[in-house]
Amino acid sequence: MNKHSITNPKLSFFLLLALSRVAIGQVHQMPAYPLISHDPYFSIWSFSDTVTASPTKHWTGADQPLIARITVDGKNYRILGDSSAHEVAGGGLAGVQKQVTVTATRTIYDFVCGAVNVRMQFTSPLILNDLHLLSRPVSYISFQISDGDHRTHKVQLHFIASANLAVNLAAQDVQSTKLSTASLNLLRSGTRDQPVLARKGDDLRIDWGYVYLGAAKKELSVQTISGRDLRTDFPVELISTKQRNHLLLLGYDDLYSIQYFHSNLKPWWKLDSGSSIEKEMDAALTQYPAILKKCDSADQQVYQDAFAAGGEHYAKLCVAAYRQSVSAHKLVKSPEGDLLFLSKENFSNGCISTVDVTYPSAPLYLMYNPELLKGMLNGIFYYCESGRYAKLYAAHDLGTYPLANGEIYGEGMPVEESGNMIILTAAIVKREGNAAYATRHGKILSQWVNYLAQKGLDPADQLCTDDFAGHLARNANLSLKAIVAIRCFGMMAEMQGQQFVAKRYNDLASNMVRQWIKLADAGDHYALTFNDKNTWSQKYNLVWDKVLDLHLFPDSVSRKEIAYYLGRQKPFGLPLDSRKTYTKSDWILWTAALAADRQDFESIVNPVYKYLTETPTRVPLSDWHETLDGRKVGFQARSVVGGYFMQSLYWKLHH
User: Is 3 a residue whose pLDDT tops 80?
Assistant: no
Let me know whether 320 and 262 are in one domain: no
Q: Distance between CA atoms of 537 and 19, rounded to whole angstroms?
A: 35
Per-residue pLDDT reduced to its tens digit, 100-122: 999 999 999 999 999 999 999 99
Q: Establish if 253 belongs to a structural domain.
A: yes
Let me know whether 300 and 267 are in one domain: no
Let me know whether 318 and 239 are in one domain: no
Q: Establish if 182 belongs to a structural domain.
A: yes
Let me know whether 101 and 161 are in one domain: yes
- Number of domains composing the chain: 2
Categorise residue 77: left if φ over 0, alpha if ψ from -120 to 50, beta otherwise: beta
What pLDDT score does 462 carry?
Answer: 81
CB 60 within 8 A of CB 203: yes
Let me know whether 123 and 257 are in one domain: yes
- Average pLDDT of the residues in 389-397: 96
Q: How far is CA 206 from CA 203, 254, 281, 620, 645, in A?
A: 10, 8, 20, 19, 30
Last residue of one domain, picked from the residues 222, 239, 274:
274
Let me know whether 371 and 226 are in one domain: no
CATH of the domain at 421: 1.50.10.10
Let me know whether 243 and 320 are in one domain: no
Let me know whether 453 and 592 are in one domain: yes
User: Is 15 a residue whose pLDDT tops 50?
Assistant: no
CATH of the domain at 233: 2.70.98
Q: Establish if 149 belongs to a structural domain.
A: yes
Cis ω before 40 (30° cut-off from 0): no
Q: Distance between CA atoms of 576 and 412, rounded to whole angstroms?
A: 22
Let me know whether 262 and 313 are in one domain: no
Q: How far is CA 523 from CA 82, 479, 557, in A?
A: 56, 19, 11
What pLDDT score does 242 carry?
Answer: 82
Alpha-carbon torsion (598, 603, 607, 613), positive or negative:
positive
Provide the domain limits for residue 70: 33-274
Categorize the per-residue pLDDT at 200 as very low, low, confident or very high, splitting at 50, 70 and 90.
very high
Amino acid identity at 530:
F
Categorize the per-residue pLDDT at 241 as very low, low, confident or very high, splitting at 50, 70 and 90.
confident
Q: Establish if 11 belongs to a structural domain.
A: no
- Average pLDDT of the residues in 465-478: 82
- Average pLDDT of the residues in 358-384: 98
CB 376 within 8 A of CB 353: yes
Categorize the per-residue pLDDT at 177 as very low, low, confident or very high, splitting at 50, 70 and 90.
very high
Q: Is 41 helix (H, G, I), strand (E, B) or coil?
A: coil
Q: Establish if 208 belongs to a structural domain.
A: yes
Let me know whether 244 and 326 are in one domain: no
User: Is 26 a residue whose pLDDT tops 50?
Assistant: yes
Let me know whether 521 and 595 are in one domain: yes
Q: Establish if 10 belongs to a structural domain.
A: no
What pLDDT score does 91 carry?
Answer: 66
Average pLDDT of the residues of the chain: 94
Q: Distance between CA atoms of 34 and 620, rounded to whole angstroms?
A: 8
Report which DSSP code applies to 433. T
Q: Establish if 285 belongs to a structural domain.
A: no
Bridge partners, residue 141, by sequence:
122, 248
- Average pLDDT of the residues in 5-24: 38
Let me know whether 243 and 317 are in one domain: no
What pLDDT score does 240 carry?
Answer: 85
Q: Establish if 21 belongs to a structural domain.
A: no
Strands (E), 73-173: 75-80, 93-94, 96-102, 106-113, 116-123, 138-147, 153-162
Q: Is 23 helix (H, G, I), strand (E, B) or coil?
A: coil
DSSP string over 392-412 = SS--S-SEETTEESS---SS-
Per-residue pLDDT reduced to its tens digit, 566-621: 999 999 999 999 999 999 999 999 999 999 999 999 999 999 999 999 999 999 99
